[in-house]
Amino acid sequence: MSTSARRRSAARLAAVQALYATAVGDARIDEVLRELLEGRLGGEALADIPDPEGLFEPREVATPLAPADTLLLTRLGRGAGAETARLDEIIDGSLSGDWRGTRLELLLRSILRVAVYELTAIEDIPPRVTITEYVDLAGAFYDGPEVKLVNAVLDRVARQVYPDAFAPR
């Protein structure tokens, strides 16, 4: 993965963290983004380092994250933060049956909001790249059906927004 791709991936993660932080706290999106950009939030992740002999539990080690693409982070964070009602409507319309986004965990809803914002508002990123990035991001937090749900919702949205990109050849 190129350096710029890693920076864009880091921006997506940070945007989801920012949106989540505004939902659980009383901070505004611009405040959270400023803290992220100034390095007071984020910047590290915990990684499990297994014992090579399998005798002990894995130990956690803080590892630095790639620096985020600040332009993409700001676009995603501000855009998704400002348009949550529109994004929730799109997410609700893309869920199966009588499911509504309000039934989803806040982290999962934050992932979907940022991803749907990227699909619907940022035209210079191919939709398949967006889907892959957020499915991978969901997989970093979940190992169950949530990852498939993210994939299904984003696939439905992308097919509506970019029908030519998904047309049979």
Q: Is the pLDDT of residue 156 over 90?
A: yes
What is the residue type of 91? I
More confident residue, 106 or 58: 106
pTM: 0.85
Q: Which residues contact 36 (CB under 8 A, 6 or more apart)?
A: 14, 17, 18, 42, 68, 73, 77
pLDDT higher than threshold 60 for residue 84: yes
Mean pLDDT of the chain: 88
- Whether 153 and 95 have beta carbons less than 8 Å apart is answered as yes
pLDDT of the residue at 30: 92
Query: For 3-162, which CATH superfamily applies?
Result: NusB-like (1.10.940.10)
d(CA 112, CA 119): 10
Summarised one tens digit per residue, pLDDT across range 2-58 is 889 999 999 999 999 999 999 998 889 999 999 888 876 555 554 567 767 777 777
Please report the pLDDT score of residue 167 as a whole number: 78
Q: What is the predicted pLDDT for the residue at 44?
A: 53
Backbone angles phi, psi at 63, to 5 degrees: -120, 140
